[in-house]
Structure 1
């Protein structure tokens, strides 16, 4: 009997199994294509900030007394002069009050005249030793009380006449009407705003800046202010006021720039561009889609161009505006940052990118 050669058959079976395992193994995932940009801020470049022309002096005017409006003589955009009537209240109630107090004053004066005559008679009788001292003292006291009543009635009447004048709302200075908050027939409370008037003779540009930009401004920094619709129209100005607190939403602070003899084209509400005459250091800005926020922290995905993979890098965020985010720290110039799909990437994931843009 010939022996069976089992080894070659076993080897053949092992090779077949190995081939099957290789065929069933999962192939590696292809590199994921991503959009990216290379951040390259140009330090010291000139930067302009959008703003608007506003009046320095703006007054909200209202009546000093409660009443119903029967006339409103101005509308938004009207030019007004100092002392010009803006609105009026129904004077009927105050007219009644004035007439009532005039009657009270007449009565008090009549009482005073009566007590004057009585005092004069008691004085004569006392000198002739006909009247007693007690009668004279009573007459004198009554005369003094009547005189005090006249004084009080005169004061009440003067106050009522002054309040009668409160039925008329007048402009306290030349200006332009910027808002109307009440209509004819409406009952308004004392102090409620009815008309807002701004003085167009003193104008300023208002812009919002980040803390890092404000820190770079010297005291009274000079600005060049131009119209956005016509950049050839420009004027100069200096920082007059910087808000002490940042806005809770934008984290920017409001800066008011006093303008030096602005042209007539700088009307209230006009959009302008304010450019500091000192060069501010530029910061890195990225599209808002490049920011990943997790557990109260902020990250970006940086591309390792040598390994063609991504890694998550923590950054500090500055101002957000116009769909972009300012990077206050944590990111170096020249880094390539992913700008889309940041929520579906993982550390070390292979990616494929193009040349990208320069920021």
Structure 2
């Protein structure tokens, strides 16, 4: 009897179950994220310490070898263009000049005799006293004698030029920065005797990280001051950027030209070079951890304060330094972004505030 009652009640139970409301799927819990409020930051001044060096520095050497008998300039001496610097023992060169001069005189005498003989035979030929063949032979001898004169004159010029190589003269106004030989020493051709640097134009040479150099261009203006006299500040122009980084330090070498530098910019001293932007300029700067890299695109997660969800926002990056990256476009001050775990977030994901970067 109870089984019959249970069978009759089954349709009623099924109908009652169908009338019950469906159970909703549980919503995912908001994910805690670390975020920060984007605020404009004043641009900071970047300063680097470098060395004052001459823009133009040349080594002076003799073109011929010999014994150094005189050196009239030493380290630190100021020299004027054309001033005598050093001399070699020129005895052998002087003898070569005298020999070349004597050979020229002999060649000129031979040419004079040959030319006179040609003239006499020409007159005799016109009188039919001698033959044309004799005249042609005389002409050939005269031409050979003239060639000998040209050759002897060229050798004299060469010997005189070689004699001039026994003296060194300053190529420009400058200061002697190094000495390579002392009087009495036998020097070879091309061996450095003196090094002269120009003093009217100087460079401040600095080494900077890659994150700094990537936004620089030749012509940028730096404020430069010697560390021995910080109050002396002049403008310098970036004139050279190294084509590659140093293989050991991975830094880039810059040369900042300083024309008509004050006396405080002594060669070899240290100086500070600063590249500053106007104080009114501001920049959006965020931690590198906030940047999401996807293929060649970059973006940040912007937190929607009303819906408490994150949305991806493409951004254009600028300079990177000390774990911070400048945002050129795509982000405005006052917006909140996620700064941690950016690679595990998805579009529209609910989030909860886990903390804020101060």
TM-score, normalised by the number of residues in structure 2: 0.65
CA contact under 8 A between 1:49 and 1:275: conserved in structure 2? yes
Q: Could you say which residue in structure 1 is the equivalent of 2:155?
A: 156
Give 1:201 shift. 0.8
* Residues 1:245 and 1:218: Cα distance change in structure 2 (over 3 Å): closer
CA contact under 8 A between 1:177 and 1:196: conserved in structure 2? yes
Q: How does 1:43-54 map to 2 (within 5 A)?
A: 44-54=43-53
Q: How does 1:207-246 map to 2 (within 5 A)?
A: 207-246=206-245
* Residues 1:59 and 1:128: Cα distance change in structure 2 (over 3 Å): same
Cα distance in 2, alignment partners of residues 133 and 281 from structure 1: 101
* Residues 1:147 and 1:210: Cα distance change in structure 2 (over 3 Å): same
Q: Could you say which residue in structure 1 is the equivalent of 2:68?
A: 69
Q: Could you say which residue in structure 2 is the equivalent of 1:119?
A: 118
**Which deviates the most, 175-184 or 260-269?**
260-269
Give 1:46 shift. 2.4
Q: Could you say which residue in structure 2 is the equivalent of 1:343?
A: none
Cα distance in 2, alignment partners of residues 192 and 241 from structure 1: 29
Structure 2: 5+ residue runs without aligned partners?
1-40, 288-321, 326-338, 341-358
Cα distance in 1, alignment partners of residues 169 and 220 from structure 2: 38
Find the structure with the greater CA-based Rg: 2
Q: Could you say which residue in structure 2 is the equivalent of 1:270?
A: 269
CA contact under 8 A between 1:63 and 1:190: conserved in structure 2? yes
Give 1:264 shift. 1.6
Alpha-carbon deviations, 1:231-278, whole Å to 9, x = none?
Answer: 112111121111112222222121111125432211211211111123
TM-score, normalised by the number of residues in structure 1: 0.64
Cα distance in 2, alignment partners of residues 282 and 273 from structure 1: 26
**Which deviates the most, 261-270 or 132-141?**
261-270
Q: How does 1:313-328 map to 2 (within 5 A)?
A: none
The CA RMSD over aligned residues, in Å, is: 2.7
Cα distance in 2, alignment partners of residues 85 and 64 from structure 1: 15
Matched residue of 2:46: which SS? coil
Cα distance in 2, alignment partners of residues 128 and 264 from structure 1: 85
Q: Could you say which residue in structure 2 is the equivalent of 1:290?
A: none
Cα distance in 2, alignment partners of residues 83 and 94 from structure 1: 22
Q: How does 1:303-342 map to 2 (within 5 A)?
A: none
Alpha-carbon deviations, 1:200-221, whole Å to 9, x = none?
Answer: 1111211111221101324422
Give 1:45 shift. 3.3
* Residues 1:223 and 1:48: Cα distance change in structure 2 (over 3 Å): same
* Residues 1:283 and 1:184: Cα distance change in structure 2 (over 3 Å): farther
CA contact under 8 A between 1:43 and 1:283: conserved in structure 2? no
CA contact under 8 A between 2:201 and 2:259: conserved in structure 1? no
Give 1:192 shift. 2.2
CA contact under 8 A between 1:80 and 1:177: conserved in structure 2? yes
* Residues 1:134 and 1:64: Cα distance change in structure 2 (over 3 Å): same
Give 1:47 shift. 2.8
Give 1:79 shift. 0.2
Q: How does 1:195-214 map to 2 (within 5 A)?
A: 195-214=194-213
Matched residue of 1:97: which SS? helix
Matched residue of 1:247: which SS? coil
CA contact under 8 A between 2:46 and 2:276: conserved in structure 1? no
Matched residue of 1:48: which SS? strand
Q: Aligned pair 1:95/2:88, yes or no?
A: no
**Which deviates the most, 65-74 or 183-192?**
183-192
CA contact under 8 A between 2:218 and 2:240: conserved in structure 1? no
Cα distance in 1, alignment partners of residues 91 and 232 from structure 2: 53
Q: Could you say which residue in structure 2 is the equivalent of 1:251?
A: 250
Give 1:229 shift. 2.2
CA contact under 8 A between 1:217 and 1:278: conserved in structure 2? no
Cα distance in 2, alignment partners of residues 231 and 154 from structure 1: 62
Give 1:328 shift. 10
Q: Could you say which residue in structure 1 is the equivalent of 2:178?
A: 179
Q: Give the aligned length.
A: 250
